[in-house]
Structure 1
Amino acid sequence: MASKKIMSFVFPAIITLIIVLIMSVIPAYAQYSSSPLTISPGPDLRITLVNQEPDPVSPGSTVKERIRIENYGAKDINNVKIEILPGYGYEIVDTPVRNIGTMKGAQKGVTAFIESFNIKIKPETPEGLLKIKIRQTSDNQEFPIDFEFDVNVQTTTDALVISSISTTPSELEPGKEGKLSFIIRNSADSLLSDVKVSLNLTGAIFSVIGSTNEKVVSFINPKQEESVDFNIIVNPEASLGIYQVPVTITFRNSAGTSFTKNIIAGIVINSEPSYLLNLESTDVYTSKTKGKVTIAVSNTGNGVMKFTELDLVPTDEYDVISASKVYLGNIDSDDTQSNTYEIYVKKSVNYKVPLRVNIKFKDKFNKEYTKEYLLNLQLLKSSEASKLGVTKKASITTIIFSFMVVVLLLVFWITMIIDVLRNQLPREKKIIWFIVVVLGMVLGSAIYYFVARRKPKK
């Protein structure tokens, strides 16, 4: 019974002691790592690939390899050195050996060492995963340890870059010749050969002249550029606008592998606006008269004249009675828009009146144009206007008024003649006043009326 009692006390004590020992050991390892269960009791150096730039890398190009060096052991590792070993398909650009120094126990994760090596992939290296060898040495180990990591080698179309696409002139005109140019750059570190630039002319608004639609460049040296030019002529019936031309470019890398690159070239078809501004009609032929003038705008160019405004500006020679500024809107190619103004001509110089007209509009690409014109309004002499029958006809009101005035003056004249005959004047004076009234008509009658007419009897 006594032994059973002793065991009942000893066994729990042993279990408690074991738990205390375990709890005291775990913090000792935890000071080296946030994951204490991954820590080895001795030195444990590991090397892994972080990334490569670019990924993939083309044959003949240089790649930057970033590697991580970590110590998964609990003990320090002294005088650590990392070396990139020579191998098939690549060569080391910068210093192959890196002195890391001392790596503390459990120095991993965010505290690990990161090293970068620039490695040039040889042009003849086949596509695929290329093995890069790394050797690690330290004072804590008797023999070096070798590691390997893979580099993804793959030729891409990015080796050939289109630096620029341009036309000469920058805006091509319908029916005229120009040049379409490509600047092609070899961005790789190896030769590119058999570079072919082909234009897809299906439905194109231009034709290639002086050559076919395909140009070949034998080779482009690394980091160099070549120009490919096509002489073209634009279809005379082409509408103004922006057009897309499909372009196919093929080439070979230094290993003889063929690649195809498809791009779109944008070209602008445009031309300077062409139009006529003229005085279409008028019924104003003499000064000091009011009438109408019609000004017309004819679009003789290839493109539309958008948001067209016409402004007849008043001057010292004439006044604009109607609205001076009008909106004509869009005027299509081979179309005409006009506006009729009512003006009053105050004076002229040599029977000419310069009409000051401002026109404003935008082309298809919203480029604004503004220009002032002087349109000569040719007047006639009064005699010429009467002879040609273009003098202004009086209104019915004017005619009636004029007729009444003439009748009244005629009555007044006849009345004064009768008054002279009945006037009791001496014979000589009566004859004189009769002659004055008859020959002087209205003026003579007026003089007689105020000087010698008979006074009414009171």
Structure 2
Amino acid sequence: MKSNMKLIMVSVILLFYIVSVHAIIITTGETVAARGSDVVSVTLLKYEPIPARPGNYLDVYLKFDTLIGSVAKDAAVWFEEKFPFSIVDPSKKIQSIGFYSGVNDAIVKFRLYIDPAAPPGINTVTFRYTPDQHFPNQWRTAEFDVDVQLSDIILSVDKVQTLPETVKAGEIAELKIVLTNNKNSALRDVSVKLDLNELPFNVISSTNEKVFPLLLSKKTIEANFKILIAGDTDSGVYNLPITITYSDDSGKSYTKKLVAGVIVDNIPDFLINLDESSLYRKDKPYSKLPTDKVLLSVTNTGSSQIKAFSMELLDTEDYVVLGNPLMTPTNLDPDDYETQEFTIHVQKPVKQSKKVPMKVKIRYKSSFNNKFESTETVMLTLLTREDAYKFGLAKKPHTTCIFILVVILVIMGCLVYRKWFKKKNKT
């Protein structure tokens, strides 16, 4: 009986021990599941680079840990995307640690991208973590400060261009100004303003100022203006002042000044005239097939210099050019003129008065050495003998004078003959 009682007592003690151990194990497991973030922690080990730069990458290193004696069965750390940080590789947004007992360090790395418009100063990066991914209510939040600093801000002017590159008085040109933010921070209130005082230009279809509220890092903007060149603008290079202002996210203002060169290159104005022709001279009889000289002149009637001006008189069916048909190239200042003499031969008899077009090829350069070539027409009037007499371009023979001259010649002939005849009879 006593032995049975001892056996029963041992069995009860063993059963109590087994139940107690099982209860302890269950209690420990429930504690991890229930306490969650109380038994695990995430700390910021480091981030690189320091300081962080807007528009750059940021490597964040986190240390995952548990309380002494606690075990994480399926731990994980998750990046929570908030401005100005974003994950570079979306597949690595959640870093799984798995079973963790605290024996070894659990280090996780996140590669982030900092928005170019990130404000300078302290920015918060946010993570969530859990000891067991199978329990949604176990996720906790950890936030860490990241120092974001601006680098030296450089706003470059990549291009200042007029389209077309050279403009003429009275034309509309487009002025294009290309700006690039080369650094790693956003710029705000970028203003491009033209100073048109004392210049023969006017902005049309807009004001003389363009404002861009935000220019992100590494981005480019274009400020376009349509400019009307005044009709009386002389050829030349005009310096157009441009003022660029902007500010960074800290509120600091910057000013950049530059000068754009606008080239006004007007097409030269000139006038070609027939100054004189020996075909019209009053002191010379008119010929039906004249071979004679014409004198052409050119006058610079514009406001800019004409360079390397030359004329070439071309042959036509009405005439041919004899001798040198070319004029030696010369420069013509405003209001200056030059002449060139050509010798021509009219091809056909003139049965009635008519105007003959003389073809003159013109070659010249503008004040900025732009080449031009054209063919001009100068009218040459060919007259019949009667019309030449009528307009006083040739002297009509006077019949009375001719008669008197004939009489004198006859009398002189008679006297000579009489003297010769008497001399002959004496011999």
TM-score normalised by L of structure 2: 0.54
Partner of 1:264: 259
In the TM superposition, what is the alpha-carbon distance from 1:62 to its structure 2 partner?
A: 1.7
In the TM superposition, what is the alpha-carbon distance from 1:297 to its structure 2 partner?
A: 1.9
Q: For each residue in 1:102-127, what CA deviation from the matched residue of structure 2 results, as whole angstroms up to 9, or x when unmatched?
A: xxxxxxxxxxxxxxx77537744537
Partner of 1:325: 326
**Which residue, 352, 365, 368 being the options, matches 1:365?**
368
Partner of 1:280: 275
Q: For each residue in 1:40-90, what CA deviation from the matched residue of structure 2 results, as whole angstroms up to 9, or x when unmatched?
A: xxxxxxxxx9xx9xx99863x22599xxxxxxxxxxxxxxxxxxx99xx98
In the TM superposition, what is the alpha-carbon distance from 1:359 to its structure 2 partner?
A: 1.2
**Which residue, 227, 239, 242 being the options, matches 1:244?**
239
CA contact (8 A) 2:193 2:209 kept: yes
CA contact (8 A) 2:53 2:114 kept: no
In the TM superposition, what is the alpha-carbon distance from 1:341 to its structure 2 partner?
A: 2.2
CA contact (8 A) 2:52 2:58 kept: no
Please give the alpha-carbon distance, in whole angstroms, between the structure 2 residues aligned to 1:310 and 1:228.
Answer: 45
**Which residue, 385, 389, 392 being the options, matches 1:386?**
389
1:126 and 2:120 matched: yes
In the TM superposition, what is the alpha-carbon distance from 1:361 to its structure 2 partner?
A: 0.9
Please give the alpha-carbon distance, in whole angstroms, between the structure 1 residues aligned to 2:396 and 2:121.
Answer: 97
In the TM superposition, what is the alpha-carbon distance from 1:380 to its structure 2 partner?
A: 1.1
Please give the alpha-carbon distance, in whole angstroms, between the structure 1 residues aligned to 2:115 and 2:250.
Answer: 12
> What secondary structure does 1:326 align onto?
coil
Please give the alpha-carbon distance, in whole angstroms, between the structure 2 residues aligned to 1:314 and 1:242.
Answer: 40
Please give the alpha-carbon distance, in whole angstroms, between the structure 1 residues aligned to 2:373 and 2:249.
Answer: 58
> What secondary structure does 2:394 align onto?
coil
Partner of 1:13: none
Q: Which amino acid aligns with 2:56?
A: T
Partner of 1:449: none
Q: Map 1:303-314; keep pairs closer than 5 Å.
A: 303-314=304-315
Q: Map 1:158-307; keep pairs closer than 5 Å.
A: 158=155, 161-162=156-157, 164-185=159-180, 191-201=186-196, 203-208=198-203, 213-220=208-215, 226-285=221-280, 286-307=287-308
Q: For each residue in 1:306-337, what CA deviation from the matched residue of structure 2 results, as whole angstroms up to 9, or x when unmatched?
A: 10111123445334345321124112234332
Q: Which amino acid aligns with 1:182?
A: I
> What secondary structure does 1:244 align onto?
strand
Q: For each residue in 1:295-314, what CA deviation from the matched residue of structure 2 results, as whole angstroms up to 9, or x when unmatched?
A: 12233334322101111234
In the TM superposition, what is the alpha-carbon distance from 1:369 to its structure 2 partner?
A: 1.5
Structure 1 spans left out of the alignment, 5+ residues = 1-48, 66-84, 98-116, 131-149, 395-402, 416-458
Please give the alpha-carbon distance, in whole angstroms, between the structure 2 residues aligned to 1:239 and 1:283.
Answer: 39
In the TM superposition, what is the alpha-carbon distance from 1:382 to its structure 2 partner?
A: 0.6
In the TM superposition, what is the alpha-carbon distance from 1:207 to its structure 2 partner?
A: 4.1
Partner of 1:156: 153
Question: Percent of aligned positions with the same letter in both sequences?
Answer: 28
1:353 and 2:356 matched: yes
In the TM superposition, what is the alpha-carbon distance from 1:293 to its structure 2 partner?
A: 1.3
TM-score normalised by L of structure 1: 0.51
Structure 2 spans left out of the alignment, 5+ residues = 1-47, 60-78, 94-110, 124-146, 281-286, 398-404, 418-427
In the TM superposition, what is the alpha-carbon distance from 1:241 to its structure 2 partner?
A: 2.6
Please give the alpha-carbon distance, in whole angstroms, between the structure 1 residues aligned to 2:390 and 2:58.
Answer: 98
Structure number with the bigger relative contact order (C-alpha 8 A, sep ≥ 6) is: 2
CA contact (8 A) 1:63 1:121 kept: no
Structure 1 residues 122 and 200: alpha-carbon distance in aligned structure 2, compared to 1, 3 A threshold: closer
**Which residue, 375, 378, 382 being the options, matches 2:378?**
375
Q: Map 1:387-406; keep pairs closer than 5 Å.
A: 387-391=390-394
Q: For each residue in 1:357-393, what CA deviation from the matched residue of structure 2 results, as whole angstroms up to 9, or x when unmatched?
A: 2111111222211222332311111112133342379
Q: Which amino acid aligns with 1:294?
A: L
In the TM superposition, what is the alpha-carbon distance from 1:222 to its structure 2 partner?
A: 5.9
Q: CA RMSD in A?
A: 5.2
Q: For each residue in 1:229-288, what CA deviation from the matched residue of structure 2 results, as whole angstroms up to 9, or x when unmatched?
A: 444343555331333323221112334332333333232212233332232222214432
In the TM superposition, what is the alpha-carbon distance from 1:294 to its structure 2 partner?
A: 1.5
Q: Which amino acid aligns with 1:379?
A: L
Please give the alpha-carbon distance, in whole angstroms, between the structure 2 residues aligned to 1:312 and 1:122.
Answer: 68
Partner of 2:344: 343
Q: Which amino acid aligns with 1:268?
A: I
In the TM superposition, what is the alpha-carbon distance from 1:356 to its structure 2 partner?
A: 2.5
Partner of 1:424: none
Please give the alpha-carbon distance, in whole angstroms, between the structure 1 residues aligned to 2:364 and 2:259.
Answer: 32
Please give the alpha-carbon distance, in whole angstroms, between the structure 1 residues aligned to 2:52 and 2:324.
Answer: 72
